[in-house]
Structure 1
Amino acid sequence: MSATTEVGPHERPAVDETNEEYMLERVPQKARRSWWSQFVIWVGFGYVPTGLIVGGQLAGSADGGGMPFGDAMLTVVIGQGVLLLLTFALGFAAMKTGLNLSLISRFSYGTRGMILPMIIMGLLTLGWFASIVGMVGDIFNAAFGSFTGITIFNGLSLEFVIFSLIWGAIFTWSAWKGIVALERISAPAAPFVLIVAIIAAIMMTSEFGGFGNVLAEGATRSGTSIGTGVTLIIGAWIAGVIMGVDIFRFAKTAAHVFIGAGACFILTNPLLNIVGYTGSIATGDANFISWMVTKGIVFAILGVILWVVALWTTNMSELYCNALYIGPAINAMGAKVSRTKIVIIVGAIGSVLGAFGFYSFFFADFITVLGAAFVPLAGPILADFFVVRRREYTTANVDELPKVRWPGIVSFLVGAVLGIVFQYWVPLPGDFPAGLGALIITFAVHILLSKLMAARPEQQLIESVDAGMR
């Protein structure tokens, strides 16, 4: 058992390092973290390139697409607002129960039924981890070039492979250390990342002749509807919303959940969207790091450090959460593997995938398909917790729940299929986000099926008292 002393708002409660980060049990009150912990983790978690890319997509280009600045800001407010509400709803459930995503899923899916959504989440986070490893490899490859001139395969240089493997190992080590490492790396990185992003945006705007010129150029952009823009914003971040359950189980109060969610969807992500929009208008590139690299060695080095640190905080979270999906899923099948072993194994696989081009060759299709299919898995959780059986979540022993609860399984499968149909074949009216539309339908279907199947044995309320809540 190790403990740290709490002081003021930066307090750090005792954490039992023998419990595998509470992979298979509730997080007790004594191990809950401070509001500052939630804030810095979510600022770091929220800083990913997609925020800049989406901002650039809202800006479009001189050749077509995009929207005026005012429409873009309205789009950001709506999109980030939806993400904020969803994150808070799931985070509140996690805070009240102290359960990670896999354990809270047992109530709506069953102790065996939750294996299906956890496998999807495991694949999704592995794909993200491998992709971010590749992003870091690209950064170093672009900054320093190829010294050896050796190409491994499909245009990937030896240096890219080596840098990717090294940083994959660093990310894996950080995730192995657990929630404390997420805090300690995110805390100093978060303000640094945000300050540099703001300064870069100001400098790019100044170079373009001032904010008035940005507005004037933005007024010429058209072709992207607000509905499409909201779809882009939600689609880029809905995965993080669901992963937030694993972070918010350490929160003490609803206010701490809102602080964490706000750090990401009121502060970090909107800022990145705005910087991406401004950068795209001013320089033609939404990624301000690319602009920094062209401004001399000092800015280039600062840009590389900034990007790596920002991606570091995000990729730790991806791998940390991955173990919390894979571990309980394996446990549900009758086996047991420690969290640390899962982190090391998945980290090694993800590092190799990243080093050999997963990001360049497979990322877009992989994430699009899984993104459309997996978003509805939150529907049964939200419907179950807030509507169907809320009392059970704080009184039942998570190991005494039924093996399968069919309303959760069926509603998720319906939502997953509809998510893909809406994404690829039958777009929803008004460019409504496919995943969000499927999530809403899943929510309603779960409630309906729960009422229709209320008499079934596995649907009965479990009244046992979970020792973890005492």
Structure 2
Amino acid sequence: MVTIAPPAQPSHPVETTDADYPLTRVPRGARQGWFAVVVVVAGFVFFTPTMVTGGQVAGAFGFTGFLGAALLAAGILALYVAALGAASARTGLSTVLLSRLVLGRVGGKWASLVLGGTQIGWYGITVGIFADLLASALGWEVSWPLAIGGGILMATTAYWGFKGIEVLSWVSVPLMFALCIWVTTLSVNEVGGWGGMFATTGDGSIPLGLALTMMIGTFISGGTQIGNWTRFARTARGAFVATLVTVIIIESAMLIFGGIGALAFGEADFTVLLFTMGLAVVGVFMLTFNLWTTNDNAAYAFGVAGAEMFGKNDKRPFVIGGVIIGIALAVSGAADAMTGFLVMLGTVIPPLGGVIIGTFLFVWRRRDPGHDLDAVTPFIWPGIAAYLLGTAAAVFGVVTGIGSPAVQGIIVAMIAAPVCHLIARRTAASAPVTKA
């Protein structure tokens, strides 16, 4: 008689896995239709601080000049985000995993650190906005209990994953659109119609380059991580078109809605404006869903970044850890440093997206390189050199005030990527062969 031995038991506990594939390519069977991706991206781009930035810039330019600058910023941002979205859809990889293929297994950790860290910062800023808004509506003198409760609540859908974010976006996007159209109508009436709105003037306090950096900077960190969601798209072409159209429409709308309200009522902060207009109750209800949608995307993003950083195939512990840090930032008043934070984002993050786009378009030729993610070399020096060159261009813009640091960083890094790879190949080909 043949005895069949029982299967061997593993010598160590089986690692918890995450259905959102934080450390691997998204398989074809798990891809989503373009409309599901659009809904999630739309919920992410509906970002209240973008409206605040629109209000700040509009006051410097007046409506005519502001309108042109806002459309330009939205167009640049949309092209940038859509190109990154296409790269992730083609490869099935999140932005931080793309960074591993572009900068190396160790070099790519910088992407996880800066992208995850900035999203934690945005989480804290958004929780702070929510807590202050709700505290004002309730007549509370302190807002920290609301920051703690709201911060925990906002993380629940991110913990659930892509489907949780999609469900919430279905609720928040229509509500926020309705609120913005309502505020716009009241604002235009306040200045005597569209003629009065176009006749408004600015004080010239913000140069165009800084204005573009501020408007692009409101979503540059989140936009660089668009691959966290477009990697679920079925085709790169579909991801590019869907993301391009969605970002242009919604980013323009958010900036313009914020700008119109500021010009009409002299208040750049959209949440304060709602109280000024007597829309506190309705505004709190609708903004709560909007801020929740923004923050669950942010929590998802720093969860994925943390999973890559520490090599753990489960984003959920990092969602929890990032939320705790974000709430602490909110309670300490991180939102007060928002402008400086935006300038910093517009300096170090765009070159990262630029080098990924340049590598995808000109080195990989819009194909998935197919590399084993665990076999990537520690440092990919051509990619690192291109990133540093792009960052230097962005820093130059910040220091000298010449141009737009965000745009310069993207363009220089994107062009430098194929050039640095070409130089590396030619240098390797011309190196003498040493015989044993």
| Normalised TM-score (structure 1) | 0.82
The whole-number CA distance in structure 1 between the counterparts of 2:333 and 2:367 is 45
**Aligned partner letter, 1:237:** F
Indicate the residue corresponding to 2:148 in structure 1: 165
The whole-number CA distance in structure 2 between the counterparts of 1:145 and 1:416 is 45
Q: Which string of whole-angstrom CA distances, capped at 9 and with x for unpartnered residues, describes residues 101-124 of structure 1?
A: 121112211122211222111211
The whole-number CA distance in structure 2 between the counterparts of 1:168 and 1:376 is 30
**Alpha carbons of structure 1 residues 39 and 397: separation in structure 2 relative to 1, 3 Å:** same
Deviation of the 1:370 alpha carbon? 4.0
Deviation of the 1:261 alpha carbon? 3.3
Deviation of the 1:71 alpha carbon? 2.7
**Aligned partner letter, 2:330:** G
RMSD: 2.4
CA contact (8 A) 2:99 2:108 kept: yes
Deviation of the 1:186 alpha carbon? 0.5
For the pair 1:320 / 2:300, whether they are aligned, the reply is yes
Aligned residues with identical type, % of pairs: 26
For the pair 1:56 / 2:55, whether they are aligned, the reply is yes
The alignment partner of 2:374 has SS state of coil
Deviation of the 1:283 alpha carbon? 0.9
The alignment partner of 1:66 has SS state of helix
Indicate the residue corresponding to 1:340 in structure 2: 316
Indicate the residue corresponding to 2:217 in structure 1: 235
Deviation of the 1:448 alpha carbon? 2.1
**Alpha carbons of structure 1 residues 380 and 410: separation in structure 2 relative to 1, 3 Å:** same
Q: Which string of whole-angstrom CA distances, capped at 9 and with x for unpartnered residues, describes residues 278-321 of structure 1?
A: 2122111234543332454xx31110111111111111111101
**Alpha carbons of structure 1 residues 263 and 246: separation in structure 2 relative to 1, 3 Å:** same
**Structure 1 gap ranges (5+):** 1-16, 150-156, 459-470
Indicate the residue corresponding to 2:251 in structure 1: 269
Indicate the residue corresponding to 2:264 in structure 1: 282
Correspondence list, 1:2-401, <5 A: 18-60=17-59, 65-67=60-62, 69-146=63-140, 157=142, 160-216=143-199, 218-219=200-201, 226-253=208-235, 254-266=237-249, 268-296=250-278, 299-331=279-311, 336=312, 338-360=314-336, 362-390=337-365, 393-401=368-376
The alignment partner of 2:362 has SS state of helix
**Aligned partner letter, 2:287:** W
**Structure 2 gap ranges (5+):** 1-15, 430-436
The whole-number CA distance in structure 2 between the counterparts of 1:365 and 1:435 is 14
CA contact (8 A) 2:354 2:410 kept: yes
Indicate the residue corresponding to 1:467 in structure 2: none
Q: Which string of whole-angstrom CA distances, capped at 9 and with x for unpartnered residues, describes residues 165-221 of structure 1?
A: 0011011222111111110000121111101210121022223332222222x1576
The whole-number CA distance in structure 2 between the counterparts of 1:370 and 1:244 is 15
The whole-number CA distance in structure 1 between the counterparts of 2:156 and 2:380 is 37
The whole-number CA distance in structure 2 between the counterparts of 1:256 and 1:444 is 23
CA contact (8 A) 1:292 1:303 kept: yes
Q: Which string of whole-angstrom CA distances, capped at 9 and with x for unpartnered residues, describes residues 34-77 of structure 1?
A: 222122212211111233223223321xxxx323x333222222
| Normalised TM-score (structure 2) | 0.88
The alignment partner of 2:400 has SS state of coil
CA contact (8 A) 1:124 1:367 kept: no
CA contact (8 A) 1:324 1:339 kept: yes
**Alpha carbons of structure 1 residues 209 and 389: separation in structure 2 relative to 1, 3 Å:** closer
Deviation of the 1:367 alpha carbon? 4.0
Deviation of the 1:377 alpha carbon? 1.0
Query: For structure 1, which segment, 384-393 or 273-282, has the greater mean C-alpha deviation from structure 2 after superposition?
Result: 384-393
**Alpha carbons of structure 1 residues 78 and 371: separation in structure 2 relative to 1, 3 Å:** closer
**Alpha carbons of structure 1 residues 456 and 312: separation in structure 2 relative to 1, 3 Å:** farther
The alignment partner of 1:395 has SS state of coil
CA contact (8 A) 2:85 2:226 kept: yes
The whole-number CA distance in structure 2 between the counterparts of 1:33 and 1:20 is 14
**Alpha carbons of structure 1 residues 20 and 404: separation in structure 2 relative to 1, 3 Å:** farther
The alignment partner of 1:241 has SS state of helix
The alignment partner of 1:399 has SS state of helix
The alignment partner of 1:23 has SS state of coil
Indicate the residue corresponding to 1:154 in structure 2: none
**Alpha carbons of structure 1 residues 143 and 379: separation in structure 2 relative to 1, 3 Å:** same
**Aligned partner letter, 1:112:** V
The alignment partner of 1:22 has SS state of coil
**Alpha carbons of structure 1 residues 186 and 457: separation in structure 2 relative to 1, 3 Å:** farther
The whole-number CA distance in structure 1 between the counterparts of 2:365 and 2:147 is 45
**Alpha carbons of structure 1 residues 230 and 369: separation in structure 2 relative to 1, 3 Å:** closer
The whole-number CA distance in structure 2 between the counterparts of 1:59 and 1:172 is 33
**Alpha carbons of structure 1 residues 106 and 75: separation in structure 2 relative to 1, 3 Å:** same
Query: For structure 1, which segment, 411-420 or 115-124, has the greater mean C-alpha deviation from structure 2 after superposition?
Result: 411-420
